[in-house]
Copies of this chain bind each other. A is one copy, B any other.
Amino acid sequence: MSGKALSSSHRALQELRSKIFSGELAAGSDHLESELADLLEMSRTPVREAVLTLESQGLLEMRPRKGVRILPLSPDDMAEIYDVLTELESHAAERAAAENFPESDLAALAQAIDDMDKAIADTDLDAWAEADDRFHGELVRLGGNSRIQSIVAMMSDQVRRARTTTLFMRPVPTQSNEDHRKVYQAIREGDAATARDSHRQHRQYAKAILIELLDKHRMRFL
């Protein structure tokens, strides 16, 4: 028994999020408030509240009389998001390295890297994506800036839906984990400049790959 009883607006928030990520609410699609209320079996009030929040998180847009639009992502949007992630995560990496954490505090980071290796060996892309998320999340956590944490989380959410698509049309990300290891090493050794530069390079490379991929496949929106 999970004795929860969470509020309707909170449930609306997480159900809408999950339906956006899964694609059940497709990018570019419009939905009336009443339609979403029916879908979630609640009144419009908590739906509106959740939608308001999701709007300010950049996942959707309210257009009176046209419905709630799930925001699609153009290649330019992707570039913007990756640039934000590059800047903020690199800073986090630098600060994490400067902290000179004992190795035990970096266990989660190391674990994520190992899990990615394993996922690649198993060619389990979902597991890889999950561990990659974990690595980046842990990195910004170690960076110690709560605002960076939440901004990065927001940006990651925005690309999450798209990644489901892109992940499966690109080569297995083997290079990526070498980068991760390099960042990890630098943090472990307290080498802030290297941590920063390695991570920046990692993200810029990932961005280039992605943009090229989208371009090659003529994907204008996702």
Interface residues of A (CB under 8 A from B): 48-49, 52-53, 56-58, 80-81, 83-84, 87-88, 90-91, 145-148, 151, 155
Given B49, B52, B146, which contacts A80 in the complex, CB threshold below 8 Å? B146
Bound Cα distance A49, B56 (Å): 12
A84 touches B48 (CB 8 A): no
B148 touches A83 (CB 8 A): yes
- Prevailing SS type, chain A contact patch: helix
Give the interface centre of A57, A83, A90 by most chain B CB atoms within 10 Å: A83
CB closest residue in chain B, given A55: B53
Residues of B within 8 A of A146 (CB): 80
A93 to chain B, nearest CB (A): 12
Residues of B within 8 A of A83 (CB): 91, 145, 148
A149 to chain B, nearest CB (A): 10
CB closest residue in chain B, given A146: B80
Q: If the complex has contacts A49-B49, A52-B49, A52-B52, are A147 and B84 also in contact, measured as CB distance less than 8 A?
A: yes
Residues of B within 8 A of A91 (CB): 83, 87
Given B52, B58, B87, which contacts A88 in the complex, CB threshold below 8 Å? B87
Bound Cα distance A53, B56 (Å): 7
Residues of B within 8 A of A49 (CB): 48-49, 52
Bound Cα distance A53, B62 (Å): 13
Bound Cα distance A56, B57 (Å): 8
Q: Can you name 24 A-B pairs with beta carbons within 8 Å?
A: A49-B49, A49-B52, A52-B52, A52-B53, A53-B56, A56-B56, A56-B57, A58-B147, A80-B145, A80-B146, A80-B147, A80-B148, A81-B147, A83-B91, A83-B145, A83-B148, A84-B88, A84-B147, A84-B148, A84-B151, A87-B87, A87-B91, A88-B88, A147-B155
